[in-house]
Structure 1
Amino acid sequence: MAPEPLDAAPEMPTLLTVRTNRLRGVWVGAACFVPGLLLLAYFPTADGVFYSAVRGVLLGGLVGFGAAALILASRKQLLEFDSRTRTMRCFSSGKPHRIYPEAGFDRIEYRAANRRIYQTRADGSSRRVPANRFWANQHDWESLVQRLSESTMPRSR
């Protein structure tokens, strides 16, 4: 058996897992819960319909967004990208939620202009994939962007 040449590039795995940025989720959750608790402590009741409605909207928004951030922080992975089949699975509650590109779309592409991932049809129309880099581990997200960019570049012969 001949030894492998030293300059041969190692083969990249086809499945790339993008993990969540758990620390960011905890910080965002805390940043929402603390003002919500202060709002409850200093304004336990509101006089009048308007102030009651404003307090309810603020409290509901802060606690709701904080809870969503903490739930997201509890998940280990945000999405998986299979470079062999060119599909992406986004996760919700630890289970595969959706597989992209969906029916009617041909490919997944990354657009550097607005730093988002889109699923695109053959006629050029597209729809954004709900994968947000804010919640992703930055190193994993950069690897995903690199793979998506490599696959959209024309191949050299």
Structure 2
Amino acid sequence: MLTSSPRILIVDDIHDAADLLSDVLVARGFNARPAYDGVQALAAVENFQPDIVFLDLGMPVMDGYATACALRARPGPQPMLVALTAWGDAATAARVAASGFDRHLVKPSSLDEIMSIVLERSRARKADAPADAASAMQSGAAFAAQAL
């Protein structure tokens, strides 16, 4: 079932950065969790099923590009992927787009920029909720009709 508040995963190998942004979002009433590398992010996506993933690019173990590609290769609903990185050059922007990211924010990003993305996703979820509810009701009616 959809809720109006998106689930948010913050992935950064700098623990303090991931924890701080997660804590700020939680304090604002959002369901946010940190992860500290790409491997943790992939596991968190399976368990937490975030609507938005803010993903650092320059991480050891599995960088943000590889993580984004792995996330996009998964079947099922896709989270919004936001590159949140210190790299803002044209080559990085092109690679971010090619890796399947939806947005690219350059650190230091303002809280206003981050909140704008979170609120945009929240509005999109609210707009999708009636369609999802109607679809679920139709599926239930079809199942009931078949059972009779």
User: TM over 0.5: same fold?
Assistant: no
Q: Which band: TM-score by shorter chain?
A: under 0.3
Higher RCO structure (Cα 8 Å, ≥6 apart): 1
Asked which structure has the greater CA Rg, the reply is 1
Using structure 2 for the length normalisation, give the TM-score. Answer: 0.22
Compare the two structures and name the one with the higher helix fraction.
Answer: 2
Using structure 1 for the length normalisation, give the TM-score. Answer: 0.21
